[in-house]
Chains A and B, each alone.
Chain A
Amino acid sequence: MNARALPLYATIAIFLIAYVICYLQFPAMLSTRVIGNLLTDNAYLGIVAVGMTVVILSGGIDLSVGSVIAFSGVFIAVLLRDTGLHPLIVFALLLGVTTAFGAAMGGLIHGLAMPPFIVTLAGMFLARGAAYMLTIDSVPIDHPFYDLLQDAYYRMPGGGRFTLIGVLMLLSVAAGMLLAHRTRFGTSVFALGGGEHTARLMGVAVGRTTVLIYAFSGFMAGLSGIVFSIYTGSGYPLATVGTELTAIATVVIGGTILTGGSGYVFGTLIGVLTMGLIQTYIVFDGSLSSWWTKIVIGVLLLLFILLQKGLLMIGQRQQGGLT
């Protein structure tokens, strides 16, 4: 069996086992309502995590995404309040801004040979600051088109709502899977994660690839911001604080190795759903503090890091054995 896929299988197994346990305790957990909500509630996280997966696969990190989501919400809310622009035009503007923002960070990372950690940390403060510049209040979004978006869903048998933003997330994951695993760009991303020096020798356009990776992450953060604004119906500069770290956690739980070069976009989806499942369980239980989500995520993260380290060691021992 492919050792690198083991974390993915482990994630899937853990998710299924957790779901079975939840189901045994609360049979209602297997309804389409819960599944629909699982997708809807975590749509913004799933979308941004797809971007993060690509970044981490390349051996980088993007700490700015949480702030970019908050900025996006405020940007949309303020523009819809103060101008007569149609939301679709605002969306296009926003995606242009966040993609350019990501591309600029990628350019700095490559051009100045700076660690992504520092550059995107600066980006995180910048985007959060820009959100505050626009407004310090929570701005409600009141637009007929938004009502339309919020009410767009397919009623599944059993009453569950398969919402537009849930669909958007699944589409994002599918697009991310194609991009990472089936394109030349994706192979370049894996190559960068395997080692920049070697990647360069093999003919990867390192600069262009780096810029594209962070531009993609910026685009996904913008898209996630749009989804989040549809989900909450408002823009608030203090929203989604720490979401970048949650996204990183879901990527790692999804089986992607934090040092890059190995992982699966599909795993990230499972990571996001696992996280959502824990939250749903806490809601069903009713007596648990929501902080338990964080504790369980922490434990899961630790478990996966240990699992990956163990697999890495086994892999190294195997090397030389096969001829």
Chain B
Amino acid sequence: MLLTTRKLTKTFPGTVALDGVSFGLEAGEVHALLGENGAGKSTLIKCLTGVYSRDAGEIELEGRPISPASTHEAQELGIGTVYQEVNLLPNLTVAENLTFGRQPTRFGMVSGRKMRQAAAEMLSGYGLDHVNVSRELGTYSVAVQQIVAIARAVALSGKVLILDEPTASLDARETETLFDVVRGLRERGLGIVFISHFLDQVFDLSDRLTVLRNGRHIVTAKTSEMQRLDLIHHMLGHELEEAEDRRSRREAGAERLRFTGLGRRGKVEPFDLAVREGEVIGLAGLLGSGRTETADILFGRTPADRGEATDSEGSVDLSSPRAAIAEGFGYAPEDRKTDGIIADLSIRENIALALQARRGWSKPIPRQEQRALADEYIRRLDIRTSDAEKAVGELSGGNQQKVVLARWLAMNPRFLILDEPTRGIDVGAHAEILKLIGELTGQGMSILLISSEFDELIAASDRVIVVRDRRHVSELVGDEIETGRIIKSIAAHDTAEGAAP
């Protein structure tokens, strides 16, 4: 074993992020680390790379116990990390980035020639012969930057390489280039930890895999001996066994919106979607599969670069959130704290925000009107607060979510996107929000519901779209909507298999 952890434990106030995780990495293997949100992947990585200090357990590198106190120390020990966001400096040249901290000097001056030579040597074998090391790193594509980052990490550390979602912003061709590099490093005897949400890539690249869930080690196995379906069962765990009760599905209403071939390079493959009146469309998929990316495109947050959106009156402008709001769209994003609420503003101000934006800032909503609006929604959604002037940041998660919902309901949108509306909120509020979804569709509103909880999707949706690896792979309607089917679709190798009845 090159790197071993034994009974690694790390707790944060309120949660056990890692609960006695044992993990082993061999030299010359690519070991995939899998798990959904909160599984403990990043905590494990951060303990290995010295960002966090562990509470209990041991880490051994080549048989010797280590406890890195900083990323720098971990690097010196031989553990290098490359993150999804390239952690190099785009304003420095490729050579400077590669040699940073160890630039060859002569009489105190950096020797440009020697530095470029050293950089070129570091880059050899990575298939980047066309890269001019004297150019700024920022002028190259993310894929090249990623490989440069790997080259630096390998040169600096050279034993263990941790790749944290390295392919998240790469396209298929770039990914293949990167994989060739990784395979080359495996040949050279490095131990590589590979984290990715793309199961295809995991099966393509890794020799073994380890699944974490809720901070626990679930399974370690040879990738070739693992079935997709089993893997997803391991990743999702208990949710599957739960019986689900389903809301009665109504007759579908008239078609309200149609999205044709909407997509964006590097985000989501083009997809078609028709939205009918009063319908809840569920969007199922693993983390990073393209759920949130779909929502971002529909709301103009990352505008589509192809395809079109139409309704009965013609084209629908989704080029920016502002345009989408004007078209009667609403979006309660996944990360409530950073994207949903403005924590320091009051409930009243938060609720009035979108409505005011649509009216234009030259026509302020009178304070009294805002107050009436806020009071109405506090009553209707049962927001637990002393009064409407309380800062939203002081409310509980569930109540914050209700404020976000109230903001959009005040606008009476025709299409509302809810990304993980029940994450991190208590059971009572959970049920209330689901009930609210039912009421809203009863009034004719259409909703796109994104959730990683299948029982929630099954309970609330009229249709479920399954996304995998940034593609909309299948659509389930009526009785097809059940956990087993969804899992199968997610696990399927290709579209045909997933869509087969």
Residues in chain A within 8 A of chain B (CB atoms): 2-4, 178, 182-184, 186-187, 190-191, 193-195, 198-199, 201-204, 261-262, 315, 318-323
Q: Shortest CB–CB separation between residue B95 and chain A, in angstroms? A: 10
Name which residue of chain A comes closest to B139, CB basis. Answer: A322
Residue contact A190 to B89, C-beta cutoff 8 Å: yes
Whether A322 contacts B71 by the Cβ 8 Å rule is no
Query: A3-B139, A319-B141, A320-B141 known; A184 and B91 CB under 8 Å?
Result: no
In the complex, the answer to whether B101 meets A203 with C-beta atoms within 8 Å is: yes
| B142 and A194 form a contact (CB under 8 A) | no
Q: Mark B81-104, 1 if CB is under 8 A from A, else 0.
A: 000000111111000110011010
Considering the complex of A and B, which 10 residue pairs feature the smallest CB-CB distances, nearest first?
A194-B89, A261-B91, A194-B91, A203-B101, A182-B109, A323-B141, A201-B87, A202-B100, A320-B141, A262-B91
Instruction: Indicate the member of B88, B91, B92, B103 with the most A CB atoms within 10 Å.
Output: B91
Which of B88, B101, B109, B139 lies in contact with A183, CB distance below 8 A?
B109
Contacting pair A203 B72 (CB below 8 A): yes
Describe A's contact surface by its main secondary structure. helix
Q: Is B420 an interface residue (CB 8 A)?
A: no
Q: In the bound complex, what is the Cα–Cα distance between A4 and B134 (angstroms)?
A: 13
The answer, yes or no, to whether B135 is at the interface (CB within 8 Å) is yes
B103, A187: Cβ atoms closer than 8 Å: yes
Instruction: Give Cα A235–Cα B90 distance, bound, in whole angstroms.
Output: 45
- Expressed in whole angstroms, the minimum distance between the Cβ of B393 and any Cβ of chain A is 22
Max count, chain B CB within 10 A of own CB: residue among A3, A198, A318: A198
Q: Which single member of B92, B105, B108 contacts A194 (CB below 8 Å)? A: B92
In the complex, chain A residues whose CB is within 8 Å of the CB of B97: 202
Bound Cα distance A318, B142 (Å): 12
Q: List 29 A-B contacts (CB under 8 A).
A: A4-B91, A184-B103, A187-B92, A187-B103, A190-B89, A190-B91, A190-B92, A193-B91, A194-B90, A194-B91, A198-B88, A198-B89, A199-B89, A201-B87, A202-B101, A203-B72, A203-B100, A203-B101, A204-B101, A261-B89, A315-B138, A315-B139, A319-B141, A321-B141, A322-B140, A322-B141, A323-B140, A323-B141, A323-B144
Q: Which residues of B contact A3 (CB under 8 A)?
A: 139
Contact between chains at B91 and A320 (CB < 8 Å):
no
Known: A190-B89, A203-B72, A319-B139. 17 other contacts (CB 8 A): A178-B109, A182-B109, A182-B110, A182-B112, A183-B110, A184-B105, A184-B110, A187-B96, A194-B91, A201-B87, A202-B88, A203-B101, A261-B89, A315-B139, A319-B140, A322-B140, A323-B144
In the complex, what's the smallest C-beta–C-beta distance from B266 to chain A, in angstroms?
9
List of B residues within 8 angstroms of A315 by Cβ? 138-139
Q: Is B298 an interface residue (CB 8 A)?
A: no
Interchain nearest-CB distance for B83 vs A (Å): 9
- Is B60 interfacial (CB 8 A cutoff)? no
Q: How far in angstroms is the closest Cβ of chain A from B173?
A: 9
Chain A residues with CB under 8 Å of B141's CB are: 319-323
Interface residues of B in 127-147 (CB under 8 A from A): 135-136, 138-144
Would you give the shortest CB distance from A295 to chain B, in whole angstroms?
Answer: 32
CA distance A286 to B112 in the complex (A): 49
Residue in chain A with minimal CB distance to B177 = A323
Residue of B89, B103, B110, B139 near A195 (CB, 8 A) is: B89
- Residue in contact with A191 in the complex, picked from B100, B105, B138, CB distance below 8 Å: B100
When distances are taken between beta carbons in the complex, the residues of chain A under 8 Å from B103 are: 184, 187
Q: Does B327 contact A (CB under 8 A)?
A: no
Give the residue name and chain of the A residue nearest to B86 (CB). Answer: A198
